[in-house]
Chains A and B, each alone.
Chain A
Amino acid sequence: KQEVTQIPAALSVPEGENLVLNCSFTDSAIYNLQWFRQDPGKGLTSLLLIQSSQREQTSGRLNASLDKSSGRSTLYIAASQPGDSATYLCAVRGTYNTDKLIFGTGTRLQVFP
């Protein structure tokens, strides 16, 4: 059974720092991995999608890497800003369970001025 873990559970940093959020999964047989952002009381916003054949994806100050063989992904946030404060979720889409996403419990990020 696929399990997804995110470390750390919470993170509080001053503005301007570069951050690394970690996601690990137990079954390396995945189609893709998706990073989301969730703001309090809101739905999920997709940040980056990495296909199983890819190593990384970049969007602005965000960079996500995928090491499928070791069951790991990292989300790198450069030059963090207070507006980055949110919960970050990673989710994997498996080859056995086909289309549903298996989510981690998230990293709650606070960036203070």
Chain B
Amino acid sequence: GAGVSQSPSNKVTEKGKDVELRCDPISGHTALYWYRQRLGQGLEFLIYFQGNSAPDKSGLPSDRFSAERTGESVSTLTIQRTQQEDSAVYLCASTRGGEEGRYEQYFGPGTRLTVT
């Protein structure tokens, strides 16, 4: 496809369960980002992947959160033992990367996670 895609679009889970969220970046984009947007709040950076470099995990809120990306393809964000405060929209973005951040980020439609 032409844009960033994410799945599922909506996820309702019970407190304590693990969830996996998926992001397919734009083909050829080397950099991939995960953000979180809680209701009525701004976007918070979670994690960043650039090619084969070690990811920047500085935004992950706790060790219950982890993400993987194989090469320059799909990424999965995993939240273990979900809590109600994890309820948010999780947004993925990709960019061509390189050249000191010259390129704009393109966002997917997000996954709305509700923890009951």
Q: Which of A41, A44, A104 contacts B91 (CB 8 A)?
A: A44
User: How many residues in A have their beta carbons less than 8 Å from beta carbons of B?
Assistant: 24
Contact A93 B101 (CB under 8 A): yes
Counting CB contacts under 8 A, is A70 at the interface? no
Interface locus among B12-20, B66-74, B75-83, B103-111: B103-111
Counting CB contacts under 8 A, is A100 at the interface? yes
The interface of chain A, by Cβ under 8 A from chain B, is: 31-32, 34, 36, 41-46, 49, 51, 89, 91, 93, 98-106
Query: With A and B bound together, what is the CA distance between A42 and B102 in angstroms?
Result: 25
Contact B100 A46 (CB under 8 A): no
Offer 10 A-B interface pairs, CB within 8 angstroms, sorted by A. A31-B101, A43-B4, A43-B107, A51-B102, A99-B48, A99-B50, A99-B95, A99-B101, A100-B45, A101-B43
Closest to A46 in B: B104
Contact A103 B107 (CB under 8 A): no
Contact B31 A99 (CB under 8 A): yes
Closest to A47 in B: B104
Given A43-B110, A44-B107, A46-B105, verify A101-B100 contact (CB < 8 Å). no
Contact B43 A103 (CB under 8 A): yes
Query: With A and B bound together, what is the CA distance between A107 and B93 in angstroms?
Result: 21
